[in-house]
Chains A and B, each alone.
Chain A
Amino acid sequence: MIVPRSLKIDSAHAAVRIEGVAKAYRRGASSTAVLDQVSLSIDRGECAFLVGPSGSGKTTLLSILGCILTADRGTVRIFGQETTAMNPARRAALRLAEIGFVFQRFHLIRGLSASANVAVPLALRGVAPKVARRRAVELLEEVGLGDKIDAHPNNLSAGQCQRVALARALAGEPRLILADEPTASLDAANGADVMALLQKLAKKDGRTVIVVTHDARIFSFADRIFRVDSGRATEDASPYDQCSLAKAG
């Protein structure tokens, strides 16, 4: 089989490449089709946004990219690995090795201090506790929480919590960071701070970032914007228009 040269180069550079992905939620006999024909490709080091109306399937798409859900149809390649056919254990291993998650509601573990939370992905990988803690402290310093290392999530503000979550997502040095509405629980200033941090820390090491958001105020951080609607994803021609629009608004 002859592979077109352009595609080859493309797949070598692509962090994420999906084609013809469809997904429907089945509950008993009824089935809700959410994604129908989604194809997109995001290069390494890029910061891509998924935007669209509520219920359009952004979270569903992000979950498929994050190997949490599997597509009903189509191909999903994460750093060149086809994930649709993987068993759950393989997908979990891939998540642990390659993907860092940031959630809207932070999902920190209540019983653990900030540094222990950040160290969780390292603990899951079997890193020695001392080493993990040292790395966690470094990361917390990088996100500006050097003075909150032993604080518990209950005693942290929303913005601080999201920064801990950000440090946690980075802890395992994943090549891909997925964030679902990372700023939705934060006020404008905190949201912009967290987004700036995410972009800075990810760009520094060439990580790929995919962010689902409604928040037009942070569109300026995007290299590319994909609009998810009616089961498809289409790329906005020039995200910078969006950003200037957002700024104007």
Chain B
Amino acid sequence: MWSIALRTLIADRGKLLTALVGVIFSVVLVNVQGGLFFGLIRKASLLVEHGEADVWVGHRNMHNVDFPRDVPRRWIHRVRAVPGVRRAEAYLVGFADMTLPSGGFEGVVVVGVDRASLLGGAWNVAQGRPEDVLENDAIVLDECENEKLEYPRIGDVRELNHRRARVVAKTNGVMGFLVAPYVFTTYERAGQYLRMPPDRSSYFLVQLEPGADAEAVCADIRRQIPELDAFPKREYGWISVSFWMTRTGLGISFGAATLLGLLVGMIMVAQTLYALVLDRLGEFGTLKAMGARERHVYTILLVQASIMALAGSIAGLALVSGIQRFYSTPQAPIVVPWWLSAGSCLLVLVICLVSSLLPYQRVRKLDPMMVLQS
């Protein structure tokens, strides 16, 4: 049965190709669309993901890494006293205006990190060195924000909320969910740029003792300092992501577009499979006249549907990885989680199999008598 199914499918190249295009279209659409979505939404937790902290501690009910509420800095001692905490450092995140050479200005997110540890500091440094941020008035910008910030070079001087800032290093691809570029500097200088009293802090970044349980430490921190909230890195990343998902309907709009594409692709497959069968009704009639049973016929259709799904999925995923390689940028990263690829292929397979039911109904009703009468 397998070889009959395979050979008759291959014999009809035109139709096979149409079905493959349908499957490939669906797989590529789901993965690229999904990849863009995850790439975009993941930016919402960029600081958390790259911050090298095991646990993020901040104001009660903190819900987005880019929008913190400040807490008294002196509480850091209480955090440090919690068992399992190896190190805790203050961290500032806030908005400021950068004055541009043209006379305009651009809103930026200032991130202030601890001088001694540089915990939560810039990463992917492409020009200069991370520790250059310790120099006077030093700030670190990202290369990808060049256009917005009017092409600052190393050594260029800008103003942040009317205070002098000098570009000492540049990262590559550190772009957040907000349109405002990240500006890394030291904790003290960030306080000045943000005009914050020196005894305020946005977060305490915590690194744990080896073997300490993040959940347990978070629970301890919450219990001992009820004004604070504490989350393991992953969880706070997820909280920041869901902030945008739930408040903007982003997930729904991406999801709807993806689903629609999936539908179009699948209609193509179902339609092709049906046309393939209609074209070969006589052959199915011959098989039935020779004594083929329902299960023989259905096996042929299932095998053909599976081949289409499988071949289309493989080609589709290959195309996706190509697209990812050539079109993924820090501005619009395409991040395809493995489960999205696997899930989309599985879904395509299931839909292909289900869509073979329609032609099967047609063949089931076929009277083998037709073979003798034509």
Give the Cβ gap from B14 to chain A, nearest Cβ, in Å.
13
User: Which of A92, A111, A112, A129 contacts B12, CB < 8 Å?
Assistant: A111
Give the Cβ gap from B120 to chain A, nearest Cβ, in Å.
63
- Which residues of chain B are within 8 angstroms of A107 by Cβ–Cβ distance? 282-283, 285-286, 289, 371
Quick one: which of B276-326 are within 8 Å of A by CB?
280, 282-283, 285-294, 296
Cβ proximity bits A105-125 to B, threshold 8 Å, 1 near / 0 not: 101011111001000110110
- Which residues of chain A are within 8 angstroms of B60 by Cβ–Cβ distance? none
Judge whether B246 is part of the interface by a CB distance below 8 angstroms: no
Quick one: which of A37-64 are within 8 Å of B by CB?
59, 62-63
Judge whether B116 is part of the interface by a CB distance below 8 angstroms: no
> How far is B287's CA from A101's CA once the two chains are assembled, in angstroms?
11
- Which residues of chain A are within 8 angstroms of B286 by Cβ–Cβ distance? 103, 107, 109
| Interface SS of B by simple majority | helix
Given contacts A68-B372, A123-B1, A123-B3, A110 and B290 within 8 Å (CB-CB): no
> How far is B174's CA from A174's CA once the two chains are assembled, in angstroms?
75
Give the Cβ gap from A108 to chain B, nearest Cβ, in Å.
8
Considering only CB atoms, which chain B residue lies closest to A121 in the complex? B290
> How far is B3's CA from A129's CA once the two chains are assembled, in angstroms?
8
> How far is B8's CA from A97's CA once the two chains are assembled, in angstroms?
24
Q: Judging by beta carbons under 8 Å apart, are B4 and A109 in contact? A: yes
> How far is B294's CA from A152's CA once the two chains are assembled, in angstroms?
26
- Which residues of chain B are within 8 angstroms of A77 by Cβ–Cβ distance? none
Interface residues in A, total, Cβ within 8 A: 31
- Which residues of chain A are within 8 angstroms of B296 by Cβ–Cβ distance? 124
- Which residues of chain B are within 8 angstroms of A69 by Cβ–Cβ distance? 369
User: Which of B11, B294, B368, B374 contacts A110, CB < 8 Å?
Assistant: B11
Q: Judging by beta carbons under 8 Å apart, are A92 and B3 in contact? A: no
Q: Judging by beta carbons under 8 Å apart, are A123 and B4 in contact? A: yes
Quick one: which of A105-152 are within 8 Å of B by CB?
105, 107, 109-113, 116, 120-121, 123-124, 129, 152
- Which residues of chain B are within 8 angstroms of A109 by Cβ–Cβ distance? 4, 8, 283, 286-287
Q: Judging by beta carbons under 8 Å apart, are A101 and B289 in contact? A: yes
Q: Judging by beta carbons under 8 Å apart, are B287 and A63 in contact? A: no
Give the Cβ gap from A48 to chain B, nearest Cβ, in Å.
17
Judge whether A73 is part of the interface by a CB distance below 8 angstroms: no
Judge whether A227 is part of the interface by a CB distance below 8 angstroms: no
Q: Judging by beta carbons under 8 Å apart, are A120 and B10 in contact? A: no
Give the Cβ gap from B16 to chain A, nearest Cβ, in Å.
11
- Which residues of chain A are within 8 angstroms of B3 by Cβ–Cβ distance? 116, 123, 129
Judge whether B234 is part of the interface by a CB distance below 8 angstroms: no
Judge whether B9 is part of the interface by a CB distance below 8 angstroms: yes
Q: Judging by beta carbons under 8 Å apart, are A110 and B283 in contact? A: yes
Q: Judging by beta carbons under 8 Å apart, are A124 and B287 in contact? A: yes
Given contacts A111-B8, A116-B4, A124-B296, A99 and B291 within 8 Å (CB-CB): yes
Q: Judging by beta carbons under 8 Å apart, are B291 and A97 in contact? A: yes
- Which residues of chain A are within 8 angstroms of B4 by Cβ–Cβ distance? 109, 112, 116, 120, 123
Judge whether A229 is part of the interface by a CB distance below 8 angstroms: no
Cβ proximity bits A83-108 to B, threshold 8 Å, 1 near / 0 not: 00000010011111101010101010
> How far is B289's CA from A68's CA once the two chains are assembled, in angstroms?
7
Judge whether B373 is part of the interface by a CB distance below 8 angstroms: yes
Q: Judging by beta carbons under 8 Å apart, are B292 and A92 in contact? A: yes
Quick one: which of A135-175 are within 8 Å of B by CB?
152
User: Which of A92, A99, A129 contacts B293, CB < 8 Å?
Assistant: A92
Judge whether B7 is part of the interface by a CB distance below 8 angstroms: yes
Give the Cβ gap from A92 to chain B, nearest Cβ, in Å.
5
Given contacts A111-B7, A112-B7, A120 and B374 within 8 Å (CB-CB): no
Q: Which 9 A-B pairs have the closest CB atoms?
A: A96-B291, A111-B11, A111-B8, A95-B291, A107-B286, A92-B291, A109-B283, A111-B7, A68-B368
Q: Could you jot down 23 A-B contacts, CB within 8 Å?
A: A68-B369, A69-B369, A89-B293, A89-B294, A92-B288, A92-B292, A92-B293, A101-B289, A105-B374, A107-B282, A109-B4, A109-B8, A109-B283, A109-B287, A110-B11, A111-B8, A112-B4, A116-B3, A121-B290, A123-B1, A124-B1, A129-B3, A152-B11
* Residues of chain B whose beta carbon lies under 8 Å from any beta carbon of chain A: 1, 3-4, 7-12, 280, 282-283, 285-294, 296, 368-369, 371-374
| Beyond A103-B371, A107-B282, A107-B283, 16 additional pairs, beta carbon < 8 A | A62-B372, A68-B368, A69-B369, A89-B294, A95-B290, A101-B371, A105-B374, A107-B286, A109-B286, A109-B287, A110-B280, A111-B8, A111-B9, A112-B7, A121-B291, A129-B3
